[in-house]
Amino acid sequence: MSRPLRLVRILRVFSRYRLDEFINPALLPRPAQWALKVAPWRLRRAPDLPRGARLRKALEELGPVFIKFGQMLSTRRDLLPEDIADELARLQDDVPPFGAEQAVAIIEQSLGRPVDELFARFDRDPLASASVAQVHSAQLPGGEEVVVKVIRPDIESVIRQDVALMHTLARWVQRYLPDGRRLRPVEVVADYELVILDELDLGREAANASQLRRNFEDSKLVYIPEVYWDYTRTRVCVTERIHGIPVTDLETLRERGTDLKLLAERGVEIFFTQVFRDSFFHADMHPGNIFVDASDPADPTYIAVDCAIVGSLSDFDQYYLARNLLGIFRRDYHEVAQLHVECGWVPPHTRVQDFESAMRAVCEPVFEKPISEISFGQLLVYLFRTARRFDMSVQPSLVLLQKTLLNIEGLGRQLYPQLNLWDTAQPFLERWVQQRYSPQGMIKRLQRHAPTWLEQLPQLPEAVMDSLQQSRELEQRSLQQQQQLDHLQEALTARDRRRKQAIVASVLFGAAALAAAPGGWQWAMELPAISWLLVGAGLLLLWPRRG
Ligand SMILES: Nc1ncnc2c1ncn2[C@@H]1O[C@H](COP(=O)(O)OP(=O)(O)O)[C@@H](O)[C@H]1O
Ligand SMILES: [Mg+2]
């Protein structure tokens, strides 16, 4: 479909669900205001549904790219009202599978060999089919059971077209919604574009999986299936098939006698290990991507698939997160606020007390609840919301992390409702902060940065010489300017001197002329005092002054 036509279709769907209600007509140009008033959909009754549900239905009708966008939006609880976020979280992408012939064609095109040669068996019925890719099971000639993930044919052009239109819509939202700017629509669409385009590259997904697998190689916490690199390209990826229990299948997990408390706690531990030890975390921890290996029910292991979205925190983000989480959980809002100002995360003119009381106002009600109901993720949402209000720009990596934390919490509490995240998290965070400032931690960081410094060392003399040269030039220039100023000063002083001489001379000449005139001084003596005062004042005004 051509772009303008697609845009018209989008607008038609939006208007059918009466989403124009979100717009503030006063912000529209006048012709658009009139158009809105006489729009034909006004004749029809609005669907009898709350606004969140109408938005969800409209997105469902617009197809996979919009559905995925809505799913991502649902996690931005720091930006959206609760009712809308809840509805969007219910979005399902029920996309029909594409034909096995198409999958086979893409595999053969990518790997350059017929499927019969590549695999000992290829199952034509897909295991799963989603908006971007489809998964088939198969067997390698060596007997290994695998899954083959194939990117949907022609999805790339659909994504590019829809994302381009979303950019247009985002600009409209920013301009015409009463609260449009605060929703940061342009930024949100740009983030989404990066995520969805990344998902088109299965090579990248496979690389993420490899890295995560390596990070947890010797751990009982989580298992990541192995990638078969010889069979992996941009549009096709082959990995080891796993046979875990879906994490949502509580019944089977219970039947097997799985230690659910341990499992829930391990989820939290995996998360904090990924974030603070590796600074590399699986950021798509929704239940469809998580399985459990309960072959030893007392010692269960997670299995994670679908590593398309990963997050990574900078040293700075890690520090920000650890210090603030500890501060919030100790209810030390003063420390949280002070950190924000001292570290320059908010502008220097921010009043610590204002930030502190804003944080207190949102966090205190949360701490009223029993610890098993307190949501870490929600506290982070509040922290970021407050920080934004005070003009801090929250990094996308932190937002991704907050979303993942909400997922982990949701998952953990489903498995074990009394889960106390703080029990697992606190020792972890305290150890991390301690280690960071221990002599060993310092040495480790020095060691990490030393190669960069060594790399830059040979350029150092040159840089120093450059800067010396620059400062010499600067000095030279300022000397010249000083000389010019001195000249100017002299010229001005000389001019003043001449003016003073001229005034004195004219007064003297005046006096002489008066004295020489017939009746000379007599006439002057008869002038009223006021005239003399005026002459005096005039002379004072003419007298050159410096200042
Ligand atoms: N290695 C695997 N072994 C077994 N099943 C898998 C494996 N990888 C994926 N699946 C199944 O396929 C589904 C979709 O795969 P996933 O990688 O999550 O794709 P998508 O990006 O479309 O969500 C998963 O939810 C899971 O049921
Ligand atoms: Mg998935």
Task: Check whether residue 167 and residue 302 sit in a common domain.
Answer: no
Instruction: Kindly list the catalytic residues.
Output: 284
Residue 462 resides in a domain: no
Of 219-233, 378-392, 443-457, minimum mean pLDDT range: 443-457
Single pTM value for the model: 0.77
Q: For residues 59 and 149, state if they share a domain.
A: no
User: Does residue 526 form part of some domain?
Assistant: no
Given the CA of residue 242, which atom of ligand 1 is nearest to it?
3
**Chain segment 240-274, per-residue pLDDT in tens:** 999 999 999 999 999 999 999 999 999 999 999 99
Share of the chain above pLDDT 70, in %: 96
Q: How many domains does the chain have?
A: 3
Whether residue 315 sits in one domain with residue 396: yes
Strand 301-304 with 222-223, pairing: parallel
Q: Which of 147, 152, 292, 303 to mutate to test the pocket of ligand 1 (most atoms within 8 A of CB)?
A: 147
Residues 267 and 177 in one domain: no
Q: Do 113 and 66 reside in the same domain of the chain? A: no
Say what the pLDDT of residue 271 is: 96
Residue 143 is part of which domain span?
Answer: 95-181+201-241
pLDDT digit string (tens) for 475-489? 888 888 888 888 888
Nearest CA to ligand 1 atom 14: 128
Residue with tokens 């009463």: 178
Q: What DSSP state is assigned to residue 227?
A: B
Residue 379: name the closest of 326, 328, 323, 319 by CA. 328
Q: Indicate the residue among 50, 66, 93 that finishes a domain.
A: 93
Most confident among 27-31, 178-182, 362-366, 475-479 (mean pLDDT): 362-366
On average, the pLDDT of the chain sits at 88
Same domain membership, residue 358 and residue 260? yes
Binned at pLDDT 50, 70 and 90, residue 38 comes out as confident
Whether residue 326 is contained in a domain is answered as yes
Confirm whether 39 is domain-assigned: yes
Question: Does 256 map to a domain?
Answer: yes
Is residue 78 located within the same domain as residue 100? no
My answer on whether 345 and 434 are in the same domain is yes
Residue 191 lies in a domain: no
288 lines ligand 1 (CB under 6 A): yes
- 486 located within any domain: no
- 320 and 378 in a single domain? The answer is yes
Pairing of strands 281-282, 310-311: antiparallel
For residue 147, the ligand closest to its alpha carbon is 1
Answer yes or no: are the C-beta atoms of 58 and 13 closer than 8 Å.
Answer: yes
For residues 290 and 362, state if they share a domain: yes
The verdict on residue 196 lying in a domain is no
| Listed residues 93, 120, 148: the one ending a domain | 93
Average pLDDT over residues 32-61: 82
Distances from the Cα of 217 to the Cα of 197, 211, 369, angstroms: 29, 10, 38
Residues 153 and 17 occupy one common structural domain:
no
Nearest residue (by CA) to ligand 1, atom 9, is 305
User: Can you read off the two tokens belonging to residue 173?
Assistant: 């939202």
DSSP letter, residue 47: P
Mutate which of 150, 212, 305, 307 for ligand 1? The one with the most ligand atoms within 8 Å of its CB, which is: 305
- Looking up residue 161, the CATH number of its domain turns out to be 3.30.200.20
pLDDT tens-place string over residues 403-442? 899 889 989 999 999 999 888 899 889 999 888 877 777 6
Residues 263 and 380 in one domain: yes
pLDDT tens per residue, range 523-546: 667 777 777 788 787 777 777 765
The residue to which tokens 């120093």 are assigned: 464
**Of 93, 128, 144, at which residue does a domain stop?**
93
